[in-house]
Amino acid sequence: MRVGLVSPYSFDVPGGVQFHIRDLAEYLRAAGHHASVLAPADEGTELPDYVVPAGRAVPIRYNGSTARLLFGPVAAAKVGRWLEDGDFDVLHIHEPLAPSLSMLALWAAEVPVVATFHTSNVRSRVMQAASPLLRPSLEKIHARIAVSEDARRTVTTHLGGDAVVIPNGVNTSAFAGADRRPQWSGGPGRPTLVFLGRIDEPRKGLLVLAEAMPRILDEIPGARLLVIGPGGAQAARARLPERVAEATEFLGALSEVDKASALASADLYIAPHTGGESFGIVLVEAMAAGAPVLASDLAAFQRVLDGGRTGMAGATFATGRPDDLADQAVDLLADPDRRRALGDLGRERAAAFDWDVVAEEIHAVYETVVDAGPPRQEVTRLRPGRGHAGGGG
């Protein structure tokens, strides 16, 4: 099968959507399919050979953060050439309403379209404004995928119809096999806390964690915090109280191998995000690495951590409450048996999001829409046992 995947967000800057598209393309290629990715990217960016750069993106406020998007007539021409050269059996567009390559690809599509919605924002002004204008284009979509129930609710609220829920995938074996590194590992009275996220993005919650750190250090003076992710580390450090700054190490944006090792070395992984999350891929990565997880009690995070009969695979605290974060962290750091149990449950829960599971579900959607025929023929049900997906309209 020939599959074209479209990313609205630039491949210059790491992010969950970009990683999802990259990993899906690599899985499809390993399975013998042709997969090509069209994405914004600055000139000179090192890219896999299956990624076609469409040009430099510009920063735009979108979905509560700053996204690097690409739009305009030059980009539209590149989309057209890529579609013509690709001769795809199915076009998989991510965030089709994002004012970037995704929207341009949807306008130009003449083959069956699968659309994946990653955003969780029930009051999305972008969707409210764009839906009437894009209704004819939305009718080209054979099947909709939402990465979570929260993303699905966003779709049904603004666009009508429905979407099949297929979560983000994670290469869990890469995290499960990661080595603990001495420079990041803790010891008796010196536990290692890890945060992963863009430093400059408020909704990732680094400020909440920073406000909780004095209480944590009061109880456990030897604790240290590793901050992983891009952004203004120097400015962030300057805003920290002196003893919190002394206990914090900014590692920057690590390679995938180093990130996995840092997570595997954590005595406690903390996800203090304050909102705007539709899934929680960082939680899955941490769980796959065996790190016990303490996360804000966002609905999306609770669904990721919920292992059903095995119970919750992580602990939670009240979103945006540094005092509760500190209380929960101190309790966990004082209870190695509970942290060990959470780590074991986390590994088990993470297996549900492995690409072997997720990619099979996505491929089933591809087969269904290709079998359905012309783009105007709406698909409302997938193969038996696969749920259902509504077309546009």
Q: Are 303 and 148 within 8 A, CB to CB? A: yes
CA distance 312 to 229: 27
Q: What is the pLDDT of residue 65?
A: 59
Instruction: Kindly provide the residue ranges of all beta strands, DSSP E only, lying in 102-199, ordered along the sequence.
Output: 113-117, 141-146, 164-165, 192-196
The pLDDT tens digits for 51-84 are: 999 988 776 665 555 566 787 888 899 999 999 9
Element (H, E) at 207: helix 206-219
CA 190 to chain centre: 31
| Contacts of 325 by beta carbon, 8 Å cutoff, 6+ apart | 208, 209, 212, 270, 272, 294, 296, 317
Q: What is the pLDDT of residue 379?
A: 46
pTM of the model: 0.82
Q: What is the pLDDT of residue 123?
A: 56
The pLDDT tens digits for 90-139 are: 999 999 988 889 999 999 999 999 999 998 765 555 555 656 666 777 88
Q: What is the pLDDT of residue 138?
A: 84
What residue ranges of the chain have pLDDT lower than 50? 375-393
Q: What is the pLDDT of residue 131?
A: 60
Q: What is the pLDDT of residue 12?
A: 84
Can you list the domains of the chain with their CATH numbers? 2-169+354-372 (3.40.50.2000), 172-351 (3.40.50.2000)
Task: Categorise residue 64: left if φ over 0, alpha if ψ from -120 to 50, beta otherwise.
Answer: left
Q: What is the pLDDT of residue 204?
A: 95
Give alpha helix (H) positions in 14-148.
Answer: 16-30, 73-86, 101-108, 125-138
Q: What is the pLDDT of residue 126?
A: 58
Q: What is the pLDDT of residue 130?
A: 59
| Contacts of 14 by beta carbon, 8 Å cutoff, 6+ apart | 230, 253
CA distance 136 to 133: 8
Q: What is the pLDDT of residue 68?
A: 66
